[in-house]
Amino acid sequence: MDITSFIRVNNLSFPLFLLSTISFIFFLVKQIKSLSSKSLKNLPPGPPKLPIIGNLHQVGSKPHVSTANIAREYGPLISLRFGKQLVVIASTPEAAMGVLKTQDRFLSSRVVPTAFQQPSLLPHSLIWSECNQTWKNLRTLCQTEMFSTKALEAQSILREEKIGHMLDFLHSKQGHVINIEDVVFTTLFNTLSSIIFNKDLIDLKDDYGSRDELKATLHNVIEFGGRIIDFGSFYPILERFDLHGIRKGTMKEFLKAFSYWEGIIEERRSQVNSSTWSSEQAQSFVDRLLENGFSNNQIHQLVTELFVARTNTTTSTVVWVMSELVRHQEIMSKINDEMKREIKYDKINTSHLSKLPYLQASIKEAMRLHPPVPLLLPHMAADTCEVMGYTIPKNTKVFVNLWAMGRDPKVWDDPLSFKPERFMGSRLDFKGQDFKLLPFGSGRRMCPGLPSGMKSVEFILASLIHEFNCALPNGDDPSKLDMDNKFGIAMRREKPLKLVFKRK
């Protein structure tokens, strides 16, 4: 039956039919509009969004800096659109508290970066899982086997040993120009591989210009794993093409890295699985994972994540502190005085670190100005909620801009000056209670590696300063040291810090 006969049969006039249809469509459109404006009306303020790309053109290669500038204009909580993805960024202590404390429950999910969207590995992720059972179990396990006081004590022997190798290496290279980032990275890498596998994976001496394949592979794994802000994911169309390539490329690197430690895992598995095994024989973290019935893929994923989360963040912290101390010789001398006063021995050990409050204040001060993870890792809204009176819709990506807070004159006096004194005699700390200073985040997603990371940072810095005088090569003027940064999994120096070490 066509429409005209339908109208005739039903005794309707065509104009009436048309009218009712049109008004029905109108009604529908109005409904949809009011629905969508209800959820969009109360978003945090932000700059106008272009069609399709939204605000992507405003982000650039330093998202922490560009979004800090936008926040200065639009306020503590801003909303941006990256392609189809709504993004909210908190840039003051109050806004950070709203996200990480008040609404922690709703805003602690994650968005999985393309590189880690691997069906065989993702279900075993600690960093990228939403706050579900997988995540809880892995965090609890790491808490007892890797970050507990007991585990940290066991690790401190390995840490002292690897730092000892680093110092020997630097003694043998006196007068040479050293890229401090490489040396620290290798040291931290080997500390972690000893903790996990009871083995050194890379050699300090191979560092200079060597094409050591394992090192290159591991760098690639960290590099891929570190692509936490992948712009492709903001466009569903791109997802099919480009992202597929990233996923495959990453998997290839992952498999190469896994092949290096698979042998170790199998060897340990046969030990742990033998009838004579008892828990006291456990030598490493992998033994504990095997005892807990972990499959190879579960081990691969966790180990990769620990390498990614630990090495670059900790390295970049050490390098930023060193940069500031080289630039401010008067502060370096004060740390030296403190050491002379408090430590009367040749070799520093873990028990000396708590006697160095001025060194600790200098580390805090460097982390304020150069937060190694300047936007935290991307959080996601598991459900719609409110922060500072604004609506954060479900599935919004949420960042906290530590860079902006650390340099905000409303938060810190004279924010651009490096003054460790501001932390002396103050209880302000980075353990997630003071929302002015959050280099490790706060709340349920807070970095679980804080105690272990800080031990390494303090120990490496204290040892370097205790044993060496260091200067820039060619007698360069330290006050002119370039302090520009580049964004990555950890915010690093744009130009590497090169130093010449001389025994004290």
Ligand X SMILES: *[C@@H]1O[C@H](CO)[C@@H](O)[C@H](O)[C@H]1NC(C)=O
- Site stretch for ligand X (CB under 6 A), options 72-80, 130-138, 376-384, 429-437: 130-138
Q: Read out DSSP for 327-340?
A: H-HHHHHHHHHHHH
Instruction: Identify whether the C-beta of residue 162 lies closer than 8 Å to the C-beta of residue 141.
Output: no
Q: How far apart are the first and last CA of the chain?
A: 99
Report how far residue 96's alpha carbon sits from residue 430's, in angstroms, rounded to the nearest whole number.
Answer: 14
Binding of ligand HEM at residue 457 (CB under 6 A)? Answer: yes
Question: Which ranges of 328-380 would DSSP assign to H, the alpha helix?
Answer: 329-342, 357-369
CB closest to ligand X, residue no: 226
Question: Which of the residues 310 through 349 are near ligand X (CB under 6 A)?
Answer: 312, 315, 345, 349
List the single partner that 420 binds among ligand HEM, ligand X, none, CB under 5 to 8 Å by kind: none
Binding of ligand HEM at residue 301 (CB under 6 A)? Answer: no
CA–CA–CA angle 58, 60, 62 (5° rounding): 120
Nearer to ligand HEM among residue 111 and residue 265 (C-beta): 111
Binding of ligand X at residue 491 (CB under 6 A)? Answer: no
Report how far residue 308's alpha carbon sits from residue 223's, in angstroms, rounded to the nearest whole number.
Answer: 8
Nearer to ligand HEM among residue 376 and residue 497 (C-beta): 376
Report how far residue 358's alpha carbon sits from residue 424's, in angstroms, rounded to the nearest whole number.
Answer: 7
Question: Which of the residues 315 through 344 are near ligand HEM (CB under 6 A)?
Answer: 317
Q: What is the SS3 assignment for 483?
A: coil
Report how far residue 468's alpha carbon sits from residue 471's, in angstroms, rounded to the nearest whole number.
Answer: 10
- Site stretch for ligand HEM (CB under 6 A), options 255-263, 355-363, 409-417, 433-441: 433-441
- Site stretch for ligand X (CB under 6 A), options 68-76, 192-200, 217-225, 243-251: 217-225
Binding of ligand HEM at residue 309 (CB under 6 A)? Answer: yes
Q: Helices H, strands E: what count in the chain?
A: 16, 12
Q: What is the SS3 assignment for 378?
A: coil
Nearer to ligand HEM among residue 162 and residue 445 (C-beta): 445
- Exactly one of 184, 194, 453, 459 binds ligand HEM (CB under 6 A); that residue is 453
- Exactly one of 448, 465, 491, 500 binds ligand HEM (CB under 6 A); that residue is 448
Report how far residue 356's alpha carbon sits from residue 343's, in angstroms, rounded to the nearest whole number.
Answer: 9
Among positive and negative, which fits the CA dihedral 32, 52, 60, 489?
positive
Residues that bind ligand HEM (CB under 6 A): 126-127, 139, 306, 309-310, 313-314, 317, 372-373, 376-377, 379, 439-441, 445-449, 452-453, 457
Residues that bind ligand X (CB under 6 A): 122-123, 129-130, 132-134, 181, 185, 219, 222-223, 226, 269, 273, 312, 315, 345, 349-351, 488-490, 492
